[in-house]
Structure 1
Amino acid sequence: MQATVSLRLVLILGLLSAIGPFAIDMYLPALPQIGASLGAQVGAVQASLTAFFLSVGVGQLLYGPVSDMLGRKLPLYFGLLVFALASVGCALATSIDTLIVLRFIQGLGAAACMVVPRAVVRDLHTGHAAARMMSLLMLVFSVSPILAPLAGSGVIAVSSWRGVFWVVMAAAVLGLLLVWRGVEETRGAEARLDSSLSGAIKAYGVLMRDWHYLGLVFVGGCAMAGFFVYLAGSPFVLINHYGLSSTQYSMAFALNAIAFIGAAQFTGRLGQRFGLVPVVKVAATASGVVMASLLAYYLLGGERLAVLVGLYFVASALMGLVIPTTSVLALEEHGAIAGTASALLGTLQMLTGAAAMQIVGHFSNGKPLPMVVGMAAGALLGVALTWLTLGGAQARYAHATAGHGADPKGPQQ
């Protein structure tokens, strides 16, 4: 196990991880224009977003075990190539149905960039070093929700919504170059000997019976579900209901990413001082309190945009502590199948978010309350799962809070 975190590798892995979210965040300001251009209703346009989320989630189930069997680089090459080709198709699409299908294929390519970087982190580090690397990766990764909506607005202004997909295609090509020149294989041939399709199926069985692992996955999943609900509803709430311009919306959206980024940088330091488990407990609980307060405000008839933006800014910061830390803890005991464990984590969290987005979508009316109900429900469910999963778990992670990493291979399955 390496003793230090490579900032160059973190930058590359963060940029790779951001390619999929970049393809989401950048085209959010274009949703109304896409509907007008292709003659599609709001629900159909939103379906292109849901299709991407679903394929990213399902695709990770494939890439995880494949990366354990073939190494980390080959799946990245394949995924980035699929993503680039599908992006070209999206840019040329002439109907909403075609766009939805191509977005699904694009998501299958993006899935590789979601699962493999987490596995690389686990290949190299555990404990505080893993938490620090994961938080730094999140720092780079979170550039997407800050810059992508603004970049999307700029591209749309000078071309059209189709220009967005040409830009993300170029990002995928850049990703291919970065993998080729800057990423070394972290899953050696010896480690791959015990990996096979039957072994992957067995590994998924082991993970699905590990209630502690699943609890941690869904704690992070609940945090992401609230964000997905905000992601789908905020363009209509902030632009149509509150009257923000697309640029103002992009700036408001970026505030949440800034909060997430800033807080995520403290995960390693806070974990080393207080322990990773207490950090999750406190942050998840505080997030639940903040979102319950926001829900109470709207139930009592509140309407001020500043309250929505301000309280969700705080909640986003708390998510910056919860999501990377629960990922580290979930993978901590599954080093021998890190790719598979990372894949299942990503799939379950993505599907949880997509399901929440669809459920809340049925009740959406362009006003804040349905969106806030969905966001608060995710946070409060996350609080319950946190205490059920981690109520007495501090001793279990003593090695991860003592300032030393565990065996990078982890326990054999």
Structure 2
Amino acid sequence: MLLALALLSAIAPLATDMYLPGLPALADDLGTSTSSVQLTLTTFMAGLGVGQLIVGPLSDGWGRRRLLLGGTVVFAISGLLCAIAPSVEALVAARLLQGLSGGAAIVLARAVITDRTTGDLAAKLFSMLMIIGSVAPVLAPVLGGALLGPIGWRGIFWVLTGTGILMVVAVLAVVPETLAPERRHGGGLAAHAHNLRYVLGNRRYVGYALTFVFGFGALFSYIAASPFVVQDVLGLTAGQFSIVFAVNSLGLMAGSIVNTRLIGRFHARQMLGVGVATLLVAGVALTLEATVGGADRAVFLPLLFAVPVAIGFTMGNATALAQSEVREAAGTGSAVMGAGQFGLAALVSPLAGGSAAGMAISILVCAAIAALSLFTLTQAPASRTDEAEPARP
């Protein structure tokens, strides 16, 4: 079941990165502009966030499995629609549908783990998802580049269609319903609004969720700006950048692996503190090196490597701790984190820019907000809204 959930969680980087090498060919084939083609990526990312906000709260009332099956079926259909799209407008619409259904897969994978596990075990499982998920951004563009020649950009969407069908089979075979009927909440907009207030009223949840969101913001600041910084500022070639990106992705994987080995000997909150502190120190050092030290590659690149390593100690633990605070509305809690994650990613991408200083400052600001959230909000005593119950039938 964990492997199936990992596939569901990895669908976002697969559907984002696999077709990137084919964007120029896509623009030529459909006779459209670069900006129109980039809109297919923007709408997909928007769909990921909105899909989580819709499906997460619904799953608290309807259960996980039916929505998970529906989401994976729609994902497979949307891949087919992308593959046969006759125009860029049709492709944009199909990518929005693909994002909405992909968001459903992500939010429900987190909710299923929350239904089944608590505490350090949940943190370990979320970290294992991070390990598997960190492979997808490395392999997806490489796989897409290899497939582009023989099957073209439409063929890549056929591959994503096949991945969607594999997801449907995996859910049918190994993912049971994990939310018992007696734990489900009342339906309707009023109930969803109540559950949202219940989740956002828990200050400890908000603290851990903000740590998760801004930790990802620091990571995405690196992802968005690093192609320009590594090549234009540090003077490396495109091939050398690919090596740097792959090594840093391995750093994310290594951090997640070490985290899973240490959980049990240390509490998830302690490991999260280590990750956030490391991220903050790396952000300070990168900013000083970019603004004062001249961005020497021998110094800058090792400091940059520390960012994904720190994230390996941050994301899984923050997810587990946040979800443990709102177990009775796990779908809503997962949706809020997912929407915040991709919403912030859309904001930091232009803010990080293409300069070493811009990227470093963006990482530092996100790390500082994550640290402030962790070390202040999660220390707060339970408020009256923390005591509130989620909506019931």
Q: TM-score, normalised by structure 1?
A: 0.84
Q: Which residue of 2 aligns with 1:220?
A: 212
Alpha-carbon distance in 2 for matches of 1:260, 1:167: 26
Residue in 2 that maps onto 1:147? 139
Task: List aligned pairs for 1:323-362, cutoff 5 A.
Answer: 323-360=315-352
- Which residue of structure 2 aligns with residue 60 of structure 1? 52
**Could you tell me how far 1:50 is from its partner in structure 2?**
2.7
Report how far residue 164 of structure 1 moved: 2.4
Q: Tell me the CA shift for residue 260 of structure 1.
A: 1.6
Number of matched pairs: 384
Task: Tell me, yes or no, if the aligned pair for 1:334 and 1:411 is still in contact at 8 Å.
Answer: no
Could you give the per-residue CA deviations for residues 83-140 of structure 1, whole angstroms, max 9, x where no partner exists? 2222223333455444333322210010111111111111111011111111122222
Stretches of structure 1 lacking an aligned partner (at least 5 in a row): 1-8, 397-409
Tell me, in whole angstroms, the C-alpha distance in 1 between the residues paired with 2:143 and 2:298: 24
- Confirm or deny: 8 A CA contact 2:219 2:307 kept in the other structure: no
Task: Give the CA deviation at 1:43.
Answer: 4.8
Kindly indicate whether residue 373 of structure 2 is the aligned counterpart of residue 385 of structure 1: yes
Go from structure 1 to structure 2 and tell me whether the alpha carbon gap of 1:100 and 1:377 turns closer, same or farther (over 3 Å shift). farther
Distance 1:106 1:22 in 2: 12
Contact between 1:33 and 1:161, CA under 8 Å: does it hold in 2?
yes
Deviations 1:308-337 (A, max 9, x none): 443222210111111111111111121111
Match of 2:43 among 7, 27, 51: 51
Q: Please tell me whether residue 72 in structure 1 is matched to residue 58 in structure 2.
A: no
User: How high is the TM-score relative to the length of structure 2?
Assistant: 0.88
Q: Offset of 1:81 from its aligned partner?
A: 2.0
User: 215-224 or 257-266, which moves further after superposition?
Assistant: 257-266
| Residue identity matched to 1:196 | G
Greater shift, 132-141 or 86-95, is seen at: 86-95
Aligned equivalent of 1:244:
237
| Distance across 1 between alignment mates of 2:211 and 2:41 | 23
When residues 299 and 260 of structure 1 are mapped into structure 2, their CA distance, relative to the original with a 3 A threshold, is same
How far apart, CA to CA, are the structure 1 residues paired with 2:89 and 2:300? 34
2:273 paired residue number: 281
Q: What is the aligned-residue identity percentage?
A: 32
Unpaired stretches in structure 2, ≥5 consecutive residues? none
Change over 3 Å in CA distance of 1:286–1:386 after alignment to 2: same
Q: Structure 1 residues 20, 307: closer, same or farther in 2, change over 3 A?
A: same
> Does the aligned pair in 2 maintain the 1:27–1:161 contact within 8 Å?
yes
Deviation at 1:35, TM superposition (A): 4.8
How far the C-alpha of 1:338 sits from its partner, in A, is 1.1
Aligned residues: CA RMSD = 2.7
- Taking the aligned partners of 1:265 and 1:310, their CA distance within structure 2 comes to 20
- CA–CA distance in structure 2, aligned partners of residues 307 and 30 of structure 1: 34
**Is this contact kept in 2: 1:83–1:106, CA < 8 A?**
yes
Could you tell me which residue of structure 2 aligns to residue 404 of structure 1?
none
In the alignment, is residue 370 of structure 1 matched against residue 358 of structure 2? yes
1:112-131 maps to which residues of 2 (within 5 A)? 112-131=104-123
- Note the C-alpha offset of 1:283: 1.5
